[in-house]
Structure 1
Amino acid sequence: MNPLGVHALVWAGSTSREEVELAVRSTKEAGYDLLEFSLHDGLDMDVAHARAELEKAGLQVACSRGLAPDADVSSEDPAVVARGAQLLSSSLEITAGLGGKMFAGALYSAFGKASQPLSDRGRSNVVGVLRDLAAQAAKDDVTLMLEICNRYETNVINTAHDALLLADDIGADNVKIHLDTYHMNIEETDMVRPVLEVGDRLGYVHIGENHRGYLGSGHIDFTGFFHALADIDYTGPITFESFSSAVVAPGLSNDLAIWRNLWSDGMDLAKHAQSYLSNGLAAARHP
């Protein structure tokens, strides 16, 4: 029922033509329906080529990104906010150009531990920028997915409840909530109640272990999470996300603190995850 996706960083560290071809080919071989590209280093992607490769393989596509300190829409500096808004707009154009209908991630702030809480003016800037971005996205039938990240990566939204309040203030029908089990494991009280609270406003899901390695080798309660998804009849994408120092993306690897080699064989990792997800979701739907 759910399209299963995989993050491109399981396969490749850049968005060059060669590595896009590798990511598309590997995603198809591993049995997935969707490929997610991070646009942290992807503004120079050959969009027409990537779209042709995705269509040839019959894959859906989603894009994600966060922002940099000099392009942070939660800043109080108008010039910094303007750079962030432009970066989001350009990334949205790439998403639409690829044929994607989902633009996800930490669209609301710079990546990294903040030195202080989010200010009222900073939050107001986030709302204004994302309200405009949602209007732009609606023209291409794209939905914005607000990914909830942990306190060491943002001070804007850290819980599902935070994200719902932000989405309410943006007030656009094409703004949905993006849950990520890695971040939930840090910030939420359990893996069930946030899913139920978000309900039909859930638009995108990242599946990752607490250490971002092989699914099932950590301690996250995926059984409870899968059952919660079944309880709300979630039929949207579920994308496997895992990072290792075996595949390095300039910039993004440092942003995400990918210091350890948690795996070296992306295909083995991805095939294992595809089976783990398929079996777990099927069992939750038919208890």
Structure 2
Amino acid sequence: MQIGAHALVFTGTFDRAGLTTAIEKTKKAGFDLIEIPLMGPATFDRDLAARLLADHDLGATASLGLSESTDLTSPDTQVVDAGERMLTECLDIVGAMGGTRLCGVIYSAMKKYMEPPTTAGRASSAAAINRLATRAADLGIHLSLEVVNRYETNLLNTGRAALGFLDEVDHPNVSVHLDTYHMNIEESDMFSPVLDVADRLGYVHIGESHRGYLGSGTVDFDSFFRGLARVNYDGPVVFESFSSSVVNADLSRMLGIWRNLWDDSDDLAAHANRFIRDKVNAVRSIEMH
């Protein structure tokens, strides 16, 4: 199991200075890997990222959320084609960085939809993800589809919904990505969904109910980590938290960061690293009981 941090904990920009800051601080906080959001793939310096990761002996994954202009569920085939092209470019970036996974809301736009998904929209997205999964497999990269709350997609809001969609995608190189922040909104509990997804779980985000310090909100982390242990999960576990003191105004608006619960990313990250590792170790000790 690799414990990681989302780069937006440390920076909201991904030029040379931003990448350097995020990678250095992730390593300093004690994490094994960094998740880099590919918000601007056309201008992202993949070679620089690869060098910095190698210099700091840090693993990498990447994530993003699609927009209305790249929505794979769109009835407009040009929009779907644009989304597939962008995700193909993101896969090339992940491969160049030496990364192992591309995750996030990569199956629809990350927005509040005003209608449920259509049958045609689901089929369009599933077909595109299937094609992308084959490309990803050729590069040694795995795809994970993030389950998020109803205000950020109309397609995958629960673990069970994700399993149904994976059946439609029908490709072994695609898995479910669970996020405790979103689970706390949509799921009935924090244990059952992990067991439901089981060996189809490929990626985990750890976030508190209010996006602040872990353990200071309402997420039942004890049950969640017991679930991970029960299904023998051994993939990435990545801390995610946002503050407008770090990310830019546009991203703050998109993520709904109306109040800040922290302003010291170094302390927040070090605390999260200890918190996650303590939970993992505590659950492992149950085997000795």
| Conserved? CA contact 1:40–1:252, under 8 Å | no
Check 1:184–1:159 CA distance in 2 against 1; reply closer, same or farther (3 A cut).
same
Query: 1:197 maps to what in 2?
Result: 196
Matches of 1:77 and 1:269 in 2, distance apart? 42
Residue 150 of structure 1 is matched in structure 2 by 149
Alpha-carbon distance, 1:43 to partner: 3.3
1:168 Cα offset (Å): 1.3
Structure 1 gap ranges (5+): none
Give the alignment of 1:166-181 within 5 angstroms.
Answer: 166-181=165-180
Question: Is 1:125 the equivalent of 2:124?
Answer: yes
Does 1:50 find its partner at 2:49? Answer: yes
Does the 8 Å contact 2:41/2:89 carry over to 1?
no
Q: Give the Cα separation in 2 of the matches to 1:255 and 1:160.
A: 24
**Identity of matched residues, %:** 46
Deviation at 1:91, TM superposition (A): 1.2
Q: Deviation per CA, 1:34-80, whole angstroms, max 9, x where unpaired?
A: 00011123431111011110011110000001111111111111111
Task: Report matched runs for 1:65-104 at 5 Å.
Answer: 65-104=64-103
Q: Following TM superposition, by how much is the alpha carbon of 1:254 offset from its aligned partner in structure 2, in angstroms? A: 2.5
Q: Which residue in 2 is equivalent to 1:182?
A: 181
Find the aligned partners of 2:180 and 2:266 in 1 and give their Cα distance: 22
CA shift, 1:143, in A, is 0.4
Contact map agreement 1:245 1:262 (CA 8 A) in 2: no
Q: 1:241 matched to which residue of 2?
A: 240
Work out the CA distance in 2 between the residues paired with 1:255 and 1:43: 21
Task: Report what 1:223 is aligned to.
Answer: 222
Q: Provide the secondary structure at the position in 2 that maps to 1:97.
A: helix
* CA shift for structure 1 position 249: 3.6
The answer to whether the 8 Å contact 1:13/1:250 transfers is no
1:109 correspondence with 2:127: no
Cα deviation 1:183-223 (Å, max 9, x = unaligned): 00011000000000111111110000000100000011000
Deviates more, 1:245-254 or 1:67-76: 245-254
Match of 2:159 in 1: 160
Runs of at least 5 residues in structure 2 that lack an aligned partner in the other structure = none
Which sits farther off after the overlay, 81-90 or 28-37?
81-90
Q: CA RMSD in A?
A: 1.0
Aligned to 1:268: 267
Aligned pairs, how many? 286
| Alpha carbons 2:103, 2:145 under 8 Å: kept | yes
Of 61-70 and 37-46, deviating more is 37-46
CA–CA distance in structure 2, aligned partners of residues 233 and 127 of structure 1: 27
Deviation at 1:236, TM superposition (A): 0.9
8 Å Cα contact 1:41-1:252 kept in structure 2:
no
Normalised by the size of structure 2, how large is the TM-score?
Answer: 0.97
Is this contact kept in 2: 1:36–1:64, CA < 8 A?
Answer: yes
8 A Cα contact 1:9 1:249, kept in partner: no
Q: TM-score normalised to the size of structure 1?
A: 0.97
Asked if 1 retains the 8 angstrom alpha-carbon contact of 2:123 and 2:168, the reply is: no
Q: Is the 8 A contact 1:63 1:104 kept in 2?
A: yes
